[in-house]
Structure 1
Amino acid sequence: MNEPEKYPLISCICVTNNRVNLLKRSIACFVTQEYINKEIVVSYPETDNDTRSFIDILLEFYPTISLIRIERPGNLSVGNAHNMAIRICKGEYICHWDDDDWYHPGRLIVQYTDMVNKGFKACVLRHILLYDSTTENAYASFTYSWDNTILCKKEILLANPYADRNKGEDTHIMRFLDTKQYLFRLENSHHLYIYIYHGGNIWNYEHYKYFIDKSELLNKETTSTIIKLLNDGLDSFPGI
């Protein structure tokens, strides 16, 4: 646990589109974060009535959730949706928060404290878990800089915005952080993040298969635990 006045505000940026069932789990993971001084920014197309209704009801029943909503133009790219959210949010730090992945309650506090203690301005995880829902197999990832796990000073992302693209919109940002030696790569972090393939991902299965082919297949007992975590998350906020 931590005291908010001792830690800067972290804005978790969640860009979504008509995936309320998955979004519930993502927001539930945000709510359970041990890092207290946080907000979540949910960006969805202005035509996405299901997400709008869900957030209306969520905030009615859970008014203490620090949530900023953005109804973006329907033709806005994923990259520019992130840029809009970063401009609007209030945090000193930005954390990428996919709507379809799972996050351990310690993710924010571990990434933030390790990054700051080492004197860096940004952080990614080097190890995560992967779950393929089409085969019900889970994997411990190989060592890699997982850009979807980035936590970064807001001022850096304002000066180096996401590309106006739906895929690979953050590649140049990772390159910039590397060049400036701003990026801390957190090791031994498998438990903090589960990257999920569910068939509706932006990247196709061939892209995901590239990663699982280089990763370690986990045993049935561990996989069952992961599946239970993910399924329990889908049942978050009962009645909504």
Structure 2
Amino acid sequence: MDQPLLPAREPPVGTASGTAPRGAAPVLLPSPLDAGRHVQPVRAARPGRARRLQPALVQPPVVERGTHRFHPLSRRPADRGLRARRRHHLRHAGAAVPAMSGAALADFLPQPGRGVDFRLGQDGVLVQQGRLDLVTFPRRPLVSCLMVTRGRLFPARFAVDAFRSQTWPERELVLVCDAPGTPIEAHCRALDDPRIRVVTADRPAGSLGELRNLSLRAARGDWICQWDDDDLYHPQRLELGMLLLQSMQADAMFLSRWLLWSPGARRLGVSGAREWEGSMLARRAAVPDYPGLARGEDTEVMHAMLRRGRIALVDAPWLYTYVQTGANTWTARHFEAIWEAATLVETAARYDAALAALETQGPYRAYATAAAQRPD
């Protein structure tokens, strides 16, 4: 990009208009109990240096408790189980944001000065929604990116490169392989990057959930980010996510939409709106253990988190590209259902132009070439 979405070194402040003066004191969104009940401006993080702002500038409209569910989960026995949850998510994705005519992928990519839409929930109840402009906070805690992989060099090396390209300085990559001596393990050791740690299980893991738990135990950071090995990440994935979490004092965030890409089929688009479990960025203390499932394990964890704690759903689809490689955990039928519920699917005529726009934020063409060759 010609200029970053986020300023490099600005004092922390959050407003609706993005016109705050330099040197301003930080303004944080209030807790749910405070939301919408202040006539005066919300609290500042540094007492004595607060600026007077109209509450409307820093507090988005509050949704009353009672009738609005932040995450409308069914509790009926018939709706339990992985297949039922998948049906629920696809219905939710298709109904929440209708397909857009006349839009292009570039409309969903970052633009300097444009805020980020969000929804904030407390214990499963929607308490705030609106748009937030962001700048940096001085405290930058360690974020552990947790990557579980089968050990193939492709596509995992692109996920490793995306980690190394992140703008958030305090980070580590915990790489968990399901077997020792894999090509991606050798690749990471050759990089000799102290921020990358390779972890192998003492015994063969029975499920993907068990491997994710191993990565959780190995994490050194107070914050963790799920880092799937077959997807692509914007360089500001961690930075923007952490600034959102700090601004809203949230325990975790999930993207409500992300980009969809099938390089083999030459398809690009924007997903339907729902909570995408693979995009989790959260306090380590807020993440429960994963169930011992071969797939769908992160859905179980997300559901548990959404029912308790302060959780943000963020509409910034350009931060994460969900890639269909043909060797994913989920089947082609699963991906096809996601495509059918998409907000936007680029036309075949505009595919190359859309891919060129994405090239400014990641190695998309190199990934497509590697996917066609499938080296390992």
TM-score (norm: length of structure 2)? 0.57
* Residue number in structure 2 paired with 1:14: 147
Kindly indicate whether the alpha-carbon contact (under 8 Å) linking 1:28 and 1:233 is maintained by their aligned counterparts in 2.
Answer: no
Task: Return the match for 1:75 from 205, 214, 219.
Answer: 205
Per-residue CA deviation, residues 20-78 of structure 1 (Å, 9 max, x unaligned), is 1211110111111111100000000234432232222121xxx3x40111112333311
Matches within 5 A, 1:106-125: 106-125=236-255
Question: What is the letter of the counterpart of residue 162 of structure 2?
Answer: C
Task: Note if contact 1:24-1:234 (Cα within 8 Å) is conserved in structure 2.
Answer: no
Specify the alignment match of 1:214 in structure 2. 341
Q: Which residue of 2 aligns with 1:33?
A: 166
Determine which of 161, 183, 190 is the counterpart of 1:57: 190
Provide the aligned length of Structure 1 versus Structure 2.
Answer: 229
Q: Structure 1: which 5+ residue stretches go unaligned?
A: none
Superposed CA deviations along residues 105-143 of structure 1, whole A, max 9, x for unmatched, are: 111111111122112100011121100123111011121
Partner of 1:21: helix, strand, or coil? helix
Residue 94 of structure 1 is matched in structure 2 by 224
Counting aligned pairs with the same residue, the percent is: 21
Question: What displacement does 1:234 show?
Answer: 7.8
Greater percentage in strand: 1
Task: State the alpha-carbon separation in 2 of the partners of residues 139 and 148 from structure 1.
Answer: 17
Note closer, same or farther for the CA distance 1:185–1:217 as it changes in structure 2 (3 Å cut).
Answer: same
More helix by share: 1
Who wins on radius of gyration, i.e. which is larger? 2
1:182 alignment counterpart: 310
Q: Which amino acid aligns with 1:104?
A: H
The 10-residue stretch of structure 1 (40-49 or 28-37) with the greater mean CA deviation from structure 2: 40-49
Q: Deviations over 1:79-130 (max 9, x none)?
A: 1111111111100011000111000011111111112211210001112110
Which residue is 2:295 aligned to? 167
Q: 1:193 aligns with which of 290, 309, 320?
A: 320
Is the partner of 2:297 in helix, strand or coil? Answer: coil
- Distance in 2, matches of 1:45 and 1:234, equals 25
Amino acid in the other structure paired with 1:127: R
Distance in 2 of aligned mates of 1:185 and 1:51:
32
Q: Which moved more, 1:137-146 or 1:7-16?
A: 137-146
Alignment correspondent of 1:231: 365
Letter in 2 for 1:180: R
What is aligned with 1:145?
275
Shift of 1:212: 0.9
Question: Residue type matched to 2:305 in 1?
Answer: L
- Verify the 8 A CA contact 2:264 2:368 in the aligned structure 1: no
Greater length-normalized contact order (CA 8 Å, ≥ 6 residues apart): 1
For structure 1, which segment, 170-179 or 32-41, has the greater mean C-alpha deviation from structure 2 after superposition?
Answer: 170-179
| 1:46 lines up with 2:179 in the alignment | yes
* Kept in 1: contact 2:355–2:364 (CA 8 A): no
Whether contact under 8 Å (1:11, 1:41) holds in the other structure is: yes
Residues 127 and 8 from structure 1, CA distance in 2 versus in 1: closer, same or farther, beyond 3 angstroms? same
RMSD of aligned Cα (Å): 2.3
Quick one: distance in 2 between partners of 1:127 and 1:170?
Answer: 17
Matching residue's letter, 1:84: L
Shift in alpha-carbon separation, 1:196–1:145, aligned structure 2, 3 A: same
- Cα pair distance change 1:103/1:151, threshold 3 Å: same
In the TM superposition, residue 175 of structure 1 has moved relative to its aligned partner by 1.7
